[in-house]
Amino acid sequence: MPEYIEIEETHVVKDDKGRNCPLPRLLSFVGEQQSSATHRWTWRHIGFREPKKGEFYVSGALPAAYKAINDMKCRMHVVEPLEAYRQRTCWVTRKPQPGKPL
């Protein structure tokens, strides 16, 4: 069974009313070819505004960055990916031994 290592660091950004919005340091970028469930990217906050077509905005209970397919009319945190990090995945394998559980 794989063991996934979660990264708990957060980065605090502010919205237009000055409220703090903590976001994870590493985000999944949905709509980016290299993105998958095991890939996270560091990011740069561009601003709290209406995302334009092709820009990434942050949304979700488990925050992720989504690519806007059209210009949007709602204000969101707009971010851009900086560099990729791959979370480490560990597998533990044992040789089966007669009479002993795995």
Q: What is the DSSP letter of 7?
A: -
Mean pLDDT over all residues of the chain? 77
Q: What is the DSSP letter of 61?
A: T
Sequence-distant (6+) residues with CB within 8 A of 14 are 20, 21, 48
pLDDT band, residue 93 (cuts 50/70/90): low
Q: What is the pLDDT of residues 4-28, one digit of tens each?
A: 444 457 888 888 888 888 898 888 8
Q: What is the model's pTM?
A: 0.69
Sequence-distant (6+) residues with CB within 8 A of 46 are 55, 78, 79, 80
Cα 91 to Cα 5, 17, 38, 62, 85: the distances in Å are 12, 45, 14, 25, 19
